[in-house]
Amino acid sequence: MSKSLIEDFDFKTKKSSEIKNDYDVFPDKKLLDELRKKIIEHLIDQELPENKDLNEFINENIDECLEGYDLTNLERSHIFNLIDDEINGYGPISELLNDSNITEIMVNGPKDVYVEIEGKLIKDNSISFINDEHIIRTMQRLIQPLGRTIDSSNPMVDSRLADGSRINAVIPPLSVKGPVITIRKFKRNMTSIDDLLRVGSLTAEMATFLEGAVKGKLNIIVCGGTGSGKTTLLNILSSFIGNDERIITIEDAAELKLEQEHVISLETRTVNYNNGSEVSVRDLVINALRMRPDRIVVGECRGKEAFDMLQAMNTGHDGSLTTLHANGPMDALNRLETMVLMSGIDIPIMAIREYIENAIDLVINIQRMHDGKRKIVSISEVVGIDNGMIKLSPIFEFVQKGLTSSGEEDGEYQKCAKKPFIYERLKSRGITEIEKIFK
């Protein structure tokens, strides 16, 4: 199919906006896949004749492919919708991408599609692809506008869509089962601390404290597991940074959406991207230090860049923020220690621990709970080194009691009995809002 057909066709005469991508409309799934495949392959081979209306031409071709089949008007409209999604959208997952209730889309195979809604995975039997080639064609439609390609020499792509959603695509030989697509959608309804309060991810006191911690330029790590909401929380915390500060963000795939005026966004480059040399997070962190930053925000710290990040925090770049994968605050600091050792610099363990203790002020642990909801389960401060080990002290902590009758997490937040060590430092930096929290 020519590029013009893909870009311009909109089914003005045939498509019914009331018919959704619902396989219940078409009971014979085998016939539906047969017709989809036949129409798509037929259109790919066509060229638009001169002086021919585009919509009329494609409608004629689809009618030609459907000739001889005993279909109801509803079934025909459904097929037109599916072909419209192939041309103007992203194939079978077009409706999923537009559904604001869906936070993640996972395509494991042609008939194996899962979605995440409110933290719970659900298999969507109403969506399917024709075959593996159909999945790969959809992959290419998704990543082509990003300037990326996926093929045997570059069988894995990790990038982000125009709306900020993150896409990961893998094909054989890396994926044994077949082509796999994972899309973590950008949460448009989770952009402020009020949104977290609304869903019960933290308390009002915690929200006030975190705002003060960012404005008071504490160095903060956000830790948690995959899909726990680390990037969403990092984005919200970053929104508290002053509009008069120069912010440099560093990410593998740019997901942060900062609204301040003075933001420089840097993104890594893989070795196969446009045949250029690789540019790692570490390269960008080192370069960021030469760009006169007031704040450095690293989307995720996962390797050798940890040492350079700590070095920045220890040399006057207060207020730096980052995330890392870890099951808890102590695990996060242990991982940070391991990542510094990965940098290849010969430093004694105790020196690394002192380096971390001097650099990091707060560790925020966010988790996806058993009921699917995301919750900040602890905010801890680094208070020193005791018997050779870094010591953490919880300021806020969620204490779980069990599950309610409806299956939701039952528990309550507890606050430290004493004023945290960082209390006086924040007050000296003009953060007076925390006084009412720690009376």
Write the DSSP string, 27-39.
S-HHHHHHHHHHH
Q: What is the pLDDT of residue 216?
A: 95
Q: What is the pLDDT of residue 186?
A: 74
The whole-angstrom separation of Cα 313 and Cα 181 is 37
C-alpha distances in Å from residue 261, one per residue of 247, 331, 360: 9, 35, 27
- Across the beta sheet with 120-123, what order do the strands follow? 120-123, 112-117, 102-109, 180-184, 166-170, 156-160
- Across the beta sheet with 220-224, what order do the strands follow? 263-267, 247-251, 295-298, 321-325, 220-224, 362-368, 374-386, 389-403, 409-415
Contact 59/14 with Cβ under 8 angstroms? Answer: yes
Domain spans in the chain, listed from the N-terminal domain onward: 1-88, 89-186, 193-436
Under DSSP, is residue 103 helix (H, G, I), strand (E, B) or coil? strand
Q: What is the pLDDT of residue 11?
A: 39
Q: What is the pLDDT of residue 20?
A: 44
What's phi and psi for 6, nearest 5 deg?
A: -65, -40
- Model-level pTM? 0.75
Nearest in space to 359 (alpha carbons), one of 339, 387, 374, 342? 339
How high is the mean pLDDT in each 10-residue block of the chain (439 residues)?
Answer: 39 39 63 82 72 74 83 79 78 87 92 88 87 90 85 87 86 94 82 90 95 96 91 94 94 83 88 68 90 92 88 86 94 93 85 93 93 91 94 95 77 91 93 89
Q: What is the pLDDT of residue 114?
A: 95
The whole-angstrom separation of Cα 403 and Cα 422 is 34
Nearest in space to 277 (alpha carbons), one of 269, 285, 267, 288? 269
Q: What is the pLDDT of residue 278?
A: 81
C-alpha distances in Å from residue 316, one per residue of 293, 305, 387: 10, 17, 28
User: In whole angstroms, how large is the CA radius of gyration of the chain?
Assistant: 26
Domain 193-436 has CATH 3.40.980.10: no
pLDDT one-digit tens code per residue, 293-348: 999 999 888 888 888 888 888 887 899 999 999 999 999 999 999 999 888 778 89
Q: What is the pLDDT of residue 26?
A: 67
The whole-angstrom separation of Cα 98 and Cα 101 is 9
> Which own/partner pairs from 276-283 qualify as long-range (CB within 8 Å, at least 24 positions apart)?
280/304, 280/305, 281/250, 281/251, 281/252, 281/305, 282/308
156 exposure class (CB count in 10 Å sphere: 0-12, 13-18, 19+): middle
CATH code given to domain 89-186: 3.30.450.370
Q: Quick check: do 89-186 and 193-436 share a fold?
A: no
Q: What is the pLDDT of residue 42?
A: 78
